[in-house]
Amino acid sequence: MEVIITRDYDEMSWVAAQIIRRQLIRKPDSVLGLATGSTPLGTYKEMIRMHREEGLDFSKVTTFNLDEYLGLPPTHPQSYHHFMQENLFKHINIHPGRIFIPNGMAEDIDSHCRWYEEQIKKAGGIDLQLLGIGSDGHIAFNEPGSSLGSRTRLKTLTESTIRDNARFFERAEDVPHFAITMGVGTIFEAREILLIAGGEEKAAVCAEFIEGPVTARVTASMLQLHPIVKVVLDEAAASQLKQAGYYCWVQQQKQKLVGMPSQVSFLRRPVSKK
């Protein structure tokens, strides 16, 4: 696990977008796993900017979203279909037929979940999976206690997750209590994983999943066992890491390496001169 500590949310978003950009340059027909929520908004804004100003091409990209609320149609303003369309897809040149998001209105949920897994396999698997992290350490909607080998399925949301997500709805009672989500096992099969987190409220859980034990109580801790994981945090989210000095030292040493610009050139966002 590579931990990259950035100055603030904007730099965290910029670094994450640079990692995704590098993946698309290396493999234009990449399969990306995408996340929703407030954390990746800055990353998506930077991806849009790179598409418009630098010509970053998404025409061959296939995407799979992590999850969707049960019972919300794609047109609902709080559905993840709507979120992705408004905050990324309609601003880039991705083909609509290459976009996959779980269907919260599926009549046969079990069958739909199996279909979703099959589509990931048909696409050749996920090359790079973008993740956020919940305040209780969950990834996607794999709440505490989820099987670390789980697949795409229906999941009951915890009370804390429902409270966290209530800010996106007009009334707390409107927050769905169920979601269709990729499983931990599904996520773990991605070739590379990129997790981003920002803010002091994520500091404790980031320290726990990065430096604590691997446990189903904190499903993000499973990432410790994955061969290629990059965790990009702002300074606030990294504030409780016991080994923060070491992580920063590692990045400083990488910047000294000769002939590896692709590995280190994105570590500091250029500061504009006013």
Burial class (CB in 10 A: 0-12, 13-18, 19+), 273: exposed
Catalytic (active site) residue 136: yes
Separation of CA 143 from chain center: 15
Burial per residue of 139-150, b for 16 or more beta-carbon CB atoms within 10 angstroms, e otherwise:
bbbbbbebebeb
Strands (E), the chain: 2-6, 31-34, 62-65, 67-69, 99-100, 128-131, 153-156, 178-181, 192-197, 229-234
Tell me the C-alpha distance between 212 and 205, whole Å: 9
Active-site position among 46, 143, 208, 234: 143
- Record the tokens describing residue 89, joined without a space: 């897809």
pLDDT-derived band at 71, boundaries 50, 70, 90:
very high
Active-site position among 2, 136, 164, 235: 136
* Under 8 Å between Cβ of 108 and 172: no
For residue 52, which phi and psi values (nearest 5 degrees)?
-75, -40
Average pLDDT over residues 167-188: 92
Helix or strand or coil: residue 67? strand
pLDDT digits (tens, 9 = 90+) for 122-137: 999 999 999 999 999 9
pLDDT for 134: 94
Catalytic (active site) residue 108: no
pLDDT digits (tens, 9 = 90+) for 216-230: 999 999 999 999 999
Q: Model-level pTM greater than 0.95?
A: no
Active-site position among 11, 46, 67, 117: 67
Residue 272 has pLDDT above 60, yes or no: no
* Under 8 Å between Cβ of 2 and 267: no
141 Cβ neighbours under 8 A, 6+ residues apart: 66, 67, 155, 157, 161, 179, 181
Tell me the C-alpha distance between 8 and 197, whole Å: 10
Average pLDDT over residues 74-91: 97
pLDDT for 27: 98
Active-site position among 51, 81, 112, 138: 138
pLDDT-derived band at 269, boundaries 50, 70, 90:
low
Domain annotation for the chain: domains and CATH numbers: 2-264 (3.40.50.1360)
Catalytic (active site) residue 82: no
pLDDT digits (tens, 9 = 90+) for 95-114: 999 999 999 999 999 999 99
pLDDT digits (tens, 9 = 90+) for 28-66: 999 999 999 999 999 999 999 999 999 999 999 999 999
